[in-house]
């Protein structure tokens, strides 16, 4: 079954909006684990506008499921990952001022850089995933860089789902098949939701993990956090 990793960045946004420690990011992450999530994802940025480096350290020390740290591998990020040693690091080419991730890596143009970064993390025993658009050449390039997985950037799928879901999923199926063919593990994330997740999971039922934050936390305002985690896991149950 495809695993669910919940991104807790939005919990940190809410906390930071008032200062103090309400809601407590660590407590929420532990509750999310207890409610059934198989992983916790964080995406610290240099301006610390949501998850802080101190949060990452606290989470690694306390959670029992896999910790996935996403981010642009600038020097401070690389140092944090090598210090914390999460189960997985996901390399994302977001600009310092990006509101959210908005593109995957060009794994061909950036091969030398990504190969060096992957090697450093692999040598430390950290599984390395590269965030890519659903393009076969970018998936194959990630393999050449030494990654163990790719994460497919699913914003385009989510945007096109309501118009023509078969057309929207087609490049993702092709990219996912390429990942399987070259021996890469497969993750997916960005704008996956209760509306579109089941179909994605049905069509790509060999996906290892989905990382979901914004939609899940927004849904929890209506359905409650425990129930919402279970609703997302139910969407993934089609991959059993």
The residue extents of the domains of the chain are 3-239
Catalytic residue among 33, 50, 70, 209: 70
Q: Kindly give the confidence (pLDDT) of every residue in the chain, 240 residues in length, as a single tens digit, with 9 standing for 90 and above.
A: 999 999 999 999 999 999 999 999 999 999 999 999 999 999 999 888 899 999 999 999 999 999 999 999 999 999 999 999 999 999 999 765 555 566 899 999 999 999 999 999 999 999 999 999 999 999 999 999 999 999 999 999 999 999 999 999 999 999 999 999 999 999 999 999 999 999 999 999 999 999 999 999 999 999 999 999 999 999 999 876
Name, in order, each residue with C-beta under 8 angstroms of 216's C-beta and a sequence gap of 6 or more. 6, 7, 228, 229, 232
3-state secondary structure of 69: strand
50 annotated active-site: no
Residue 7, beta-bridge partner list? 41
β-pairing, 39-42 vs 127-132, is unpaired
Catalytic residue among 43, 50, 151, 209: 43
Architecture of domain 3-239: Alpha-Beta Barrel (3.20)
Measured distance CA(82)–CA(66) in Å, rounded: 16
Which pLDDT value is given to residue 84?
98
Name, in order, each residue with C-beta under 8 angstroms of 24's C-beta and a sequence gap of 6 or more. 15
Q: What global pTM score does this model have?
A: 0.94
Which pLDDT value is given to residue 100?
56
The label of the residue with tokens 């390399």 reads 91
Whether the ω angle into residue 172 lies within 30 degrees of 0, i.e. cis, is: no
Catalytic residue among 33, 50, 151, 190: 190
190 annotated active-site: yes
């Amino acid at each position: 079954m495809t695993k669910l990793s919940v991104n807790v960045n939005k919990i940190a946004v809410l906390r930071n909006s008032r200062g103090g420690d309400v809601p407590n990011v660590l407590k929420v992450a532990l509750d999310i684990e207890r409610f059934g999530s198989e992983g916790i994802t964080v995406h610290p940025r240099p301006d610390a506008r949501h998850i802080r480096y101190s949060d990452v350290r606290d989470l690694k020390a306390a959670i029992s499921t896999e910790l996935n740290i996403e981010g642009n591998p600038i020097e401070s990020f690389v140092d944090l990952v090598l210090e914390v040693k999460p189960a997985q690091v996901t390399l994302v080419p977001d600009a310092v001022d990006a509101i959210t991730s908005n593109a995957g890596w060009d794994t061909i143009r950036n091969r030398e850089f990504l190969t060096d970064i992957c090697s450093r993390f692999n040598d430390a025993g950290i599984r390395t995933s590269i965030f890519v658009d659903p393009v076969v050449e970018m998936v194959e390039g990630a393999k050449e860089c030494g990654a163990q997985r790719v994460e497919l950037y699913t914003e385009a799928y989510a945007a096109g789902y309501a118009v023509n879901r078969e057309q929207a999923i087609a490049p993702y199926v092709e990219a996912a098949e390429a990942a399987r063919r070259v021996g890469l593990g497969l993750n997916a994330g960005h704008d996956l939701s209760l509306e579109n997740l089941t179909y994605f999971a049905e069509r790509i039922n060999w996906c290892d993990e989905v990382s979901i934050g914004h939609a899940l936390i927004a849904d929890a305002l209506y359905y409650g956090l425990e129930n919402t985690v279970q609703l997302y896991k139910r969407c993934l149950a089609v991959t059993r």
